[in-house]
Chain A
Amino acid sequence: MHGKNVELSEAVMRFGDFTAVHRSNLEIEAGEFFSILGPSGCGKTTILRMISGFIEPSEGRILIGGEDMRGRGPNNRPTALIFQNLALFPLMTVWENVAFGLEARGVDKAARRKRAEELLALVDLAGQGGKKPTELSGGQRQRVAVARALAVEPSVLLLDEPLSALDLKLRQHMRSELREIQRKTGVTFVFITHDQGEALTMSDRVAVMNQGRVEQIGSADEIYLNPRTPFVATFVGQQNVFRGKVAGLDEGLAQVETSLGRFLGINGDGLGVGDDAMVFVRPERLGLVGRNGGAAPGNQLEAEVEGRELEGPFINMFLNAQGLPLTMHVTNSAEMPAQLAGRQKVGFRSEDALVLRAGDLADE
């Protein structure tokens, strides 16, 4: 890594009375694939537009490559933006689209054409330059947009949910393709998405945002395994949530008194006795007691099986524990009975449970 590339320093964005982005600090390393993940309306697009220069922060600074960007419009910043709808120019050919940034810089036509063809080759579209964007498939248009943005040799490429319009198969293919292009070019990618799968699989680091605040920044593993807020815990991946009060503490663990019993989990927030708490357990960490052999987990409860869904490698079991819906992933192995019904004893280990201070959850 070559040091910081993009830096938000105490940046605030207000629109009238509405604060879209609360005081935020963000440091994005050069050459990094950085994702900003959050539900719609969380302020992630606002951050992107602040970096690209379409809006100026109400307070604070945006630095790119150490330079303060205040007062510099989108055409004067070393950034290029890929729009959600791509915004290709429909009346120009593909190569003219790619070369538009060079045209703006006064590059002559022959050189433009040559560079456009090189870039089209980079995104696997060699020889397609003479077509109109409407003659290409969705995935190809995507790559044209990438090539067009790369043509201006930005140090930061900003991507505003560019995959959301594609179908599932193509989206998954484009993930690896984008990642590959990023690796080849070494350009810093800032990728905005509400799709956690995209964020987790593609990024070096992810920032999770909620209601105008950056809740957590970290690698995909950190975000998934050690969420720091109830929002992050429930927004990224699935969770079973038990609410209660801390009843006791024990060497980094917290015991929480819930309506379903006392559960022991990792004390992630340094809670004290009596604090309102939430216990988070991933569906894949919840198991049937006595099925997998080994020692019985420390936390146990009884629940009624209400339904199942075959996902392929695993089965989604829907349980009901005294009115609280739970989800459990069961490995699809030969030992598993095809039909599991009735009242079952389920449990989880205390090191698989995370206890956090009670707070807002992500809406399901």
Chain B
Amino acid sequence: MNELLRSYGRGLTGLFVGLTIVWLAVLVIVPQAMMLEQSLWSKERGSEISLRIDRAYTELETAKFDLAGDLAPDKKAELEDAVSRLEAEIAELEAQEQDPPKVYGLQNYTKMSGLHFNIFVKTIAYAALVTLLALVVCYPIAYAVAHLSTPRKAALLLLGLTIPYAINELLRVYAWLMILDYQGVINSFLAAIGFVSFEAKTWVPFLEYSGSVFVAMIYAYILFMVFPIYNTLETLDRNQIEAAKDLGGSIWLTHRRVVIPHAKPGIAVGCIMTFMLSAGSYAVPQIMTRGKSGDWFSQLIYRQFFESFNWNVGAAYSFTLLIACIVFIFLMMAIFKVGIRDIAK
């Protein structure tokens, strides 16, 4: 703080600090707090209350019908009393039905249906699998770019990896849809060589396999895995790899004992980023499954917010996903024995 004051003076420091506070408050704390509050209450709009309203209406109708007949004055007064009492009750119940009272508690979190819980578990498992596959694909790429090629080749390779990211994510995913569709690139090729027939609908239904979502996701998020690993691998002294080789180390031993330990922080960061992105991905499963199956938890959250208009459950689901991601971060840090400091590097 003092250093900031010394370097930038009172005015600019005030501006920096002020902007940071405004950013934190307006864009992080307030909306998150509102969401958290939303997730912690619900309005019980049970079927019981409408039943009671229905019953009250029936009683009211009966009382009104009875009133229409000839009655003793005392009986009549009693009935009129009943009618006004019922009308008051109905008004109260209807007001309650219109705006049920808030009930605070963890019910939004705990009352997840079996189906939704299944989807949640599947999403986490799939995201973990996507992360693992991306790691398997990206580690060799990052290693090759960092250590096998000349600087010129490395620059070209990195450029080749970056160019697809200049294209909108949706277009990148649609490209995979084109490739894997029933009458897409692969099936057209298979049809051309007589393997499948469009008329007989014997195409390979790639889009119905979960593999298609994986492929598109790995492609969509590969850079987030490649760059952190590449950055750490680049700082590895080439001599260490040569030393390991000179001492008789096989490729496997060299990677296990020398390269991977060095790349750990990068691998942890890459895994965290890929996992968070794929666990929270909405566009990729939506496009690849054409919104026909609610396979991904993010799609479920979307539907809670914008189709069921149940913001409370939506918020609770969002926080559940967030908590899962935070748990994953700590898990990665524990597995790779890296601290926040290493990751920040």
Task: Tell me the complex Cα distance, A84–B247, Å.
Answer: 16
Q: How many whole Å from B64's CB to the nearest CB in chain A? A: 87
Q: How many whole Å from B262's CB to the nearest CB in chain A? A: 7
- From 52 to 69 in chain A, residues with beta carbon under 8 angstroms from any chain B beta carbon are 52-54
Contact status of A74 and B237, CB under 8 A, knowing A91-B262, A103-B253? no
What is the number of residues of chain A that contact chain B, defined by CB distance less than 8 Å?
26
Residues of B within 8 A of A87 (CB): 237, 239-240, 242-243
- From 65 to 120 in chain A, residues with beta carbon under 8 angstroms from any chain B beta carbon are 73-76, 79-81, 83-85, 87, 89, 91-92, 100-101, 103-105
Question: Taking CB as reference atom, which chain B residue is nearest A145?
Answer: B243
Residues of A within 8 A of B239 (CB): 83-85, 87
- B290 in the interface (beta carbon within 8 A): no
Q: Is the CB of A54 within 8 A of B242?
A: yes
Residues of B within 8 A of A85 (CB): 237, 239
Contact status of A80 and B247, CB under 8 A, knowing A89-B257, A92-B257, A103-B253? yes
- B245 in the interface (beta carbon within 8 A): yes
Q: Is the CB of A81 within 8 A of B246?
A: yes
Q: Which of B237, B247, B262 contacts A100 (CB 8 A)?
A: B247
Task: Tell me the complex Cα distance, A266–B239, Å.
Answer: 47
- A143 in the interface (beta carbon within 8 A): no
- A152 in the interface (beta carbon within 8 A): yes
Q: Which of A53, A104, A148, A151 contacts B253 (CB 8 A)?
A: A104
Q: Which of A75, A89, A91 contacts B246 (CB 8 A)?
A: A75
- B11 in the interface (beta carbon within 8 A): no
- Chain B 219-252, CB within 8 Å of chain A: the 1/0 string? 0000000000000000001011011111111100
Q: Is the CB of A100 within 8 A of B240?
A: no
Q: Is the CB of B246 within 8 A of A80?
A: yes
Question: Taking CB as reference atom, which chain A residue is nearest B241?
Answer: A87
Contact status of A74 and B257, CB under 8 A, knowing A85-B237, A87-B237? no
Residues of A within 8 A of B245 (CB): 73-75
Q: Is the CB of B243 within 8 A of A104?
A: no
Question: Taking CB as reference atom, which chain B residue is nearest A53?
Answer: B246
Q: Is the CB of A83 within 8 A of B247?
A: no
Task: Tell me the complex Cα distance, A320–B247, Å.
Answer: 54
Task: Tell me the complex Cα distance, A39–B239, Å.
Answer: 22
Residues of B within 8 A of A84 (CB): 239
- From 146 to 180 in chain A, residues with beta carbon under 8 angstroms from any chain B beta carbon are 148-149, 151-152
Question: Taking CB as reference atom, which chain B residue is nearest A99?
Answer: B247
- B258 in the interface (beta carbon within 8 A): yes
- Chain B 254-280, CB within 8 Å of chain A: the 1/0 string? 000110011000000000000000000
Contact status of A75 and B237, CB under 8 A, knowing A89-B257, A91-B261, A100-B257? no
Task: Tell me the complex Cα distance, A54–B245, Å.
Answer: 9
Find the residue from A79, A104, A105, A149 having the highest chain B CB count within 10 A.
Answer: A104
Q: How many whole Å from B246's CB to the nearest CB in chain A? A: 4
Q: Is the CB of A74 within 8 A of B261?
A: no
Q: How many whole Å from B326's CB to the nearest CB in chain A? A: 28
Q: Which of B242, B257, B262 contacts A83 (CB 8 A)?
A: B242
Q: Is the CB of B240 within 8 A of A89?
A: yes
Task: Tell me the complex Cα distance, A79–B247, Å.
Answer: 9
Q: How many whole Å from A71's CB to the nearest CB in chain B? A: 15
Q: How many whole Å from B237's CB to the nearest CB in chain A? A: 6
- Chain A 31-54, CB within 8 Å of chain B: the 1/0 string? 000000000000000000000111
Contact status of A104 and B249, CB under 8 A, knowing A91-B261, A91-B262? yes
Task: Tell me the complex Cα distance, A81–B241, Å.
Answer: 12
Find the residue from B240, B245, B247, B262 having the highest chain A CB count within 10 A.
Answer: B247
Q: Is the CB of B243 within 8 A of A75?
A: no
Question: Taking CB as reference atom, which chain B residue is nearest A92?
Answer: B257
Q: Is the CB of A83 within 8 A of B261?
A: no
Residues of A within 8 A of B261 (CB): 91
Q: Is the CB of A104 within 8 A of B258?
A: no
Q: Is the CB of A89 within 8 A of B258?
A: yes
Contact status of A100 and B244, CB under 8 A, knowing A85-B239, A91-B262? yes
Q: Is the CB of B249 within 8 A of A81?
A: no
Contact status of A101 and B247, CB under 8 A, knowing A89-B258, A92-B257? yes
Task: Tell me the complex Cα distance, A148–B237, Å.
Answer: 17
Q: Is the CB of A74 within 8 A of B246?
A: yes
Q: How many whole Å from A295's CB to the nearest CB in chain B? A: 58
Q: Is the CB of A75 within 8 A of B257?
A: no
Task: Tell me the complex Cα distance, A103–B249, Å.
Answer: 8
Residues of B within 8 A of A83 (CB): 239, 242-243
Question: Taking CB as reference atom, which chain B residue is nearest A79?
Answer: B246
Residues of A within 8 A of B262 (CB): 91
Residues of B within 8 A of A101 (CB): 247-249
Q: Is the CB of A105 within 8 A of B257?
A: no
Residues of B within 8 A of A79 (CB): 246
Contact status of A152 and B242, CB under 8 A, knowing A89-B258, A100-B257, A103-B253? no
Q: How many whole Å from B328's CB to the nearest CB in chain A? A: 24
Q: How many whole Å from A77's CB to the nearest CB in chain B? A: 8
Residues of B within 8 A of A91 (CB): 261-262
Residues of B within 8 A of A53 (CB): 246
Question: Taking CB as reference atom, which chain B residue is nearest A82?
Answer: B243
Question: 28 A-B pairs, CB-CB below 8 angstroms?
Answer: A53-B246, A73-B245, A75-B245, A75-B247, A75-B248, A75-B249, A75-B250, A76-B248, A79-B246, A80-B247, A81-B246, A83-B239, A83-B243, A85-B237, A87-B237, A87-B239, A87-B240, A87-B243, A89-B240, A100-B249, A100-B257, A101-B249, A103-B257, A104-B244, A104-B247, A104-B248, A105-B248, A152-B247
A52-B246, A74-B242, A91-B261 known, 8 other contacts, Cβ within 8 Å: A53-B246, A81-B242, A81-B243, A87-B240, A89-B257, A103-B249, A104-B244, A148-B247
Please list the 7 inter-chain residue pairs (A to B) with the smallest Cβ-Cβ separation, ordered nearest first: A87-B239, A101-B247, A104-B248, A87-B243, A104-B249, A74-B246, A75-B248
